[in-house]
Amino acid sequence: MAKGRPPDPGRERRGTGNRATVGRAKASTARALPAPTVVAQAEPPADLPGAVVPLWTACINEMAANRHLRAPDLILLKAYCEAISLHEESSAQIHRLGVLVSGPQGPMVNPLIRVQKDAAQTMRQLADVLGLNPTARIRAGLQEVAGASLVLGIRDRLVGEIVKGSR
């Protein structure tokens, strides 16, 4: 028993059907615009902690190479670098002080663990948004292909209409 929606001849004629069209594969001609050179060479903000400046540069290079770098992304990238700095700092303090610290009523869990956990969550979320983890890069690639497919479909329909109109 086949799974999915049965084929619709009307949708298949229009090229929007849910079945593969045999022999009508289309080459993708749509390309993402390259990152502007000015943005790709952006200097790290002056107030960025020095330990994460190499990370800033690496992220800028990665995002520019993947053509996913735009000026508004620099604000999120700064927050990402700051979250990494905060995570490193809190991790160092936890290693120095230990998981348990003395509190007013005896030993308690080090409050820096929450800071470390929050920074890690922020890092994960921003890495996902900025395309700095493998899953986000795959998703961005799939969206680029889907966008290219949509653009090519619109182009083909317009060309078809023009050809029909000139007959």
Q: What is the pLDDT of residues 13-46, one digit of tens each?
A: 776 765 555 555 555 555 555 556 667 788 999 9
Residue-wise over 76-92: b if at least 16 C-beta within 10 A, else e?
ebbbbbbbbbbbebbbe
Contact assessment for residue 132 and residue 62, using Cβ atoms and an 8 Å cutoff = yes
Kindly state whether residue 1 falls inside one of the protein's structural domains. no
Kindly state whether residue 114 falls inside one of the protein's structural domains. yes
In the prediction, which pLDDT does 114 show?
96
DSSP-derived 3-state class of residue 36 = coil
* Sequence-distant (≥ 6) Cβ neighbours of residue 51 within 8 angstroms: 85, 88
> What is the count of structural domains for the chain?
1
* pLDDT tens digit sequence for 78-110: 999 999 999 999 999 999 999 999 889 999 999
Kindly state whether residue 98 falls inside one of the protein's structural domains. yes
Question: What phi-psi label fits residue 22: left (phi over 0), alpha (psi between -120 and 50 degrees) or beta?
Answer: beta
Q: Which two tokens stand for residue 104?
A: 């007013």
pLDDT band at residue 66, thresholds of 50, 70 and 90?
confident
Kindly state whether residue 8 falls inside one of the protein's structural domains. no
Range of the domain at 101: 34-132
Kindly state whether residue 56 falls inside one of the protein's structural domains. yes
Kindly state whether residue 28 falls inside one of the protein's structural domains. no
Kindly state whether residue 113 falls inside one of the protein's structural domains. yes
In the prediction, which pLDDT does 9 show?
74
In the prediction, which pLDDT does 3 show?
76
Pick 133 or 56 by higher pLDDT: 56
3-state helix, strand, coil in the chain (%, to 5): 60, 5, 35
Kindly state whether residue 103 falls inside one of the protein's structural domains. yes
In the prediction, which pLDDT does 125 show?
95
Residue 150: exposed, middle, or buried by beta-carbon count in 10 A (0-12, 13-18, 19+)?
exposed
| 11 vs 139: CA distance, rounded Å | 27
